[in-house]
Each structure stands twice: as C-alpha cells, then as structure tokens.
Amino acid sequence: MFSFQVQKYSTRSSKKMTLASNNESKNGKDPPQQNYEEGIPESVRSRLSDLRMQSTEIGEITEMPDFEMLNTSAILHYCEHKILRPYLRLLGVMGLKPTSNDDSQRCTCYCIFANLHTCQVAIFMCIGYILQYMACFRRDRGFCYKTTPLKFQLTSSINEESSKEITCFGNVIFSYLIPSILHLVAYVYTVYLFRIKENEQLQNLMERAFLLSSNSVNRGNQRRLVRILWFFIALSLVWIIINMVTVNVLMAQESIIFQWLEHSQVKITLKVLLIICTLLHDMVQGTIITSYCLQGQLLLAHLYFLHEKLLHHTLPPIDWMKEISEFRKLLKYFNDDLGPAVCIYTVVNLSWAAAGTIWLLRYDNSNIQTNPVTWIETINVILWILISIVPFIQAARLTTACSMIRSIGHEVRIRPFVYQSTPGEDLDTILLYTSSLKMYARLFRVPITGRYLCLLLSIGSILILTLGQCQFF
C-alpha cells in the first residue's frame, strides 16, 4: 500500500509541475486548480493538505533502507534469541555455561547449581573411564580381549575355560590411562576458561560480529551468519549421533565381559551406564570443538565485515584500525586460551585414528580369528579422523582471511572513486598499517595455513595409494 501511495504522489507531483511550467499564476497555482480549490470548503481543503503531507512522509519512509531502521538493541535481541541463548543452554548441559554477574543473589544460587552440575558431569566422565577399562572398550577399535592361562591351578579337573583368564589387549597405561587423563584435563581446563577466566568471551565476540554486519554493505549477512553457526552445531550433533550408534553396534556384536564382575547380576546396568558415559564423553568433546569452530567462524565474519567497511568507506580509517586492534585481542584468546583445549583433544583423537588405522591393517591384532575387522570399526576410525581435521580446516580458513586483510591496503590505494576526497598521506598510512599486520590462527603454537593442509592431504593420499598397491588392504 505504501508503494502505491508513493507512486500516486509522484505522478500527481509530475502533473502539477508540467501544468505550472505552462500556466503560472501569481500565487503559483494553475487557474483550473485555483478555481476548483476556491469552490471547496475550508475544512475539506485542510484535510486535503494533511493527506498530501502524509503521502510525502510515506514516500520518505519507504525510500529509507532497511539497515537504517535497525538499532543496536534490535540487533542484539536478534543475536541473543537466534543463536546465543540456545547455544548457552547447550553449554549449560555440558557444565560449561558462563556465569553472569547481573544479579548477585540470583548469580550466587545459579553458581552453586552450576558448580554442582559440573562436578556431576566430571564424576560421570570418570565413571565412564573406569567402565571402559573394565569392559576392555577402546575408542580406537571397540572391545578387545585376550586370554591368558592361569599361573596356578589347584586341581587338574578344572576345565579349559576356567583355566584361562580374560584380560584387556594392549598396554593399560597407553591405551586407557593416558587418553582418559588427557580427555578429563581438557574438560577441566575448558571449565576454567569458560566459567572463571573469560566467562563472556563468546558472547562479546558474537555481539561484535552481529553489530558489524548491520550496514548497507552487509545487508542480509546476519541471517547467513546464523545459518552457518547452526550448521556447525548440526554437524557436531550428527557426529555425536553416529558415534553413539557405532558404540551400540559394537556392544551388540560383542559378548561383553566386565573385569572383576564376570558373574555379576548388574551387567545390563553396567552396559547402559557405559553407553551413557561414553555418550557424555563424545558430547563434551564435540561441544568444545564446536565452540572452537564457532568462534573461528565469528572471527572470520568479523574480518570480512571489516574488509567490506574499509573498501566502501563506511568506517573511518582510524576507527577501522581500532577495530583491527580489538580483533587481534580476540584472535590472541582464540590461539592462546581456547586453542590448548582443542590441541589436547586433537592429540587424543589423532592417536585413536592412527591406532585404529593400524588395527584395520591387521598389524596390531592379537588374534584375527577372534577379533575380526568389521565395517563398523572402519566407520569408527573415520569418525576420529574427521573430528581431528576439523579444527585445522577452520584455523586454515581464518589464516586465509587474515592474509586477505594484509592486502586490503593495496585495494584501497587504487580505488579512485570511493577515496577520491581522502588525502594521499592517509591512504599511505592505511597501506603501511595493513601490510605490517601479522595475524595467524595457530594450533600447537604453529600457524595453520591451507598450503600445509593440502601438502598433508597429498602425502596421505600417496601413502594410501601405495599401501593399496602393496596389498596391505
């Protein structure tokens, strides 16, 4: 309806201008219109003038871009309800939700409840580690037993089954103890990081990214950013579900024996508890790695929005440099604080992926007849490989965006129309500042770039092809 009134008003204005150019009167009105208005009562004439003013205001409002109608509170409200609040609830389930300092009394009650829930999650994780060792369940290959003869036999009438002891295959320290400790340490460190040290880092980063997207250049990018963030969360949920299905299939295929409780009546309860605790391990790890990917994506969007703002001159160069300075602080937290937790999980996941691959090649198999390689174990190894390379891919994408910022000074320097009124000294300052930036996404204190990932992928492909030609598969 607004567009129809604007068109009607513009048509009426064009007709009046044409008539006024041909027949001008002393009062600026054409004679037919003047005679027509003189025959209208004063009240009707005033209402017509009000309608003309309203149509003019409607025309001005409809011509205003959508981004100017958005204020800061509306953007923050959209960010909070679309992605921030649901994701904080997911962190709360894992015992990782940051605490707020808005209301002291409410914060005290919530902190007590949150700390109790975090302790509960940690206790269940420890129970899961113990049950995995009791059931000889290894995350790289499933259930793996070996039989050893008893050292002392009291009578010769003992049958063959009772004269053998069933134990876990592999070194207990390297197969169970060290991976479990590293897994728990990464979780405790993330709890300290999210709950104590930087309890509002994710919220601040998300709000800054959404506020930077609210301009004429980046219109529509808020919805796109929300979709991308939910895409990472959905991928994490898919990985957790597939891993849970894998564990259930492995349990259905094997005859599970819990050490020290071979003839206990609570075996079914222990199986259910093992599934729940293993699912909790995967959920905790998936949530932490997803948080890393989400913050990497927000930093990536942060850089792209700053890139467009400088190219289109919607942000003064001095303010743009201040934004880059704030970005470097966020990147430092991403590399130095959040990165170590992901590195610990990556060490564990890569070790499981490598050990599982060796298992699939039948180099570390105690008895191929009793422990055959199945398709579900192959899927299990692929899942650990995928969860291991995802942080490297995200870090490489962020490093590529950082290198894009280094070359933006040359693009600004050669744009004649956007920066035609800007002094050359200011453009040279931008060029020198951007060229001196050295920003990288790091894992294990090493800058991660796309060329290194492509090199490792090429080496892996050559290795797989060579092993296949040598009939190792």
Q: Are 159 and 196 in contact (CB under 8 A)?
A: no
More confident residue, 104 or 377: 377
0.75 exceeded by pTM: yes
Write out pLDDT tens, residues 210-251: 888 776 555 567 888 999 999 999 999 999 999 999 999 988
275-303 CB burial, b ≥16 within 10 A, e <16 = bebbbbbbbbbbbbbbbbbbbbbbbbbbb
Look up residue 443 and give its DSSP letter.
E
User: Rounded distance, CA 389 to CA 99, Å?
Assistant: 31
Phi, psi of 456 (to 5 degrees): -65, -40
More confident residue, 166 or 253: 253
User: Rounded distance, CA 309 to CA 317, Å?
Assistant: 10
User: Rounded distance, CA 236 to CA 242, Å?
Assistant: 10
Q: Are 345 and 181 in contact (CB under 8 A)?
A: no
Judge whether residue 311 has pLDDT over 90: no
The percent of residues above 70 in pLDDT, for the chain, comes to 74
Which strand (E) or helix (H) includes residue 195? none
Looking at residue 388, its pLDDT comes to 94
Q: Are 252 and 374 in contact (CB under 8 A)?
A: no
Looking at residue 160, its pLDDT comes to 47
Write out pLDDT tens, residues 448-473: 998 888 888 899 889 888 877 877 66
Q: Are 134 and 261 in contact (CB under 8 A)?
A: yes
Looking at residue 31, its pLDDT comes to 47
Q: Kindly list the distances between the CA atom of residue 268 and the CA atoms of 136, 178, 252, 367, in Å, as whole numbers in the listed order.
A: 16, 27, 12, 27
User: Rounded distance, CA 33 to CA 27, Å?
Assistant: 11
218 closest CA partner among 312, 118, 85, 150: 312
Write out pLDDT tens, residues 135-182: 989 998 888 877 666 554 544 444 544 556 677 888 889 999 999 999
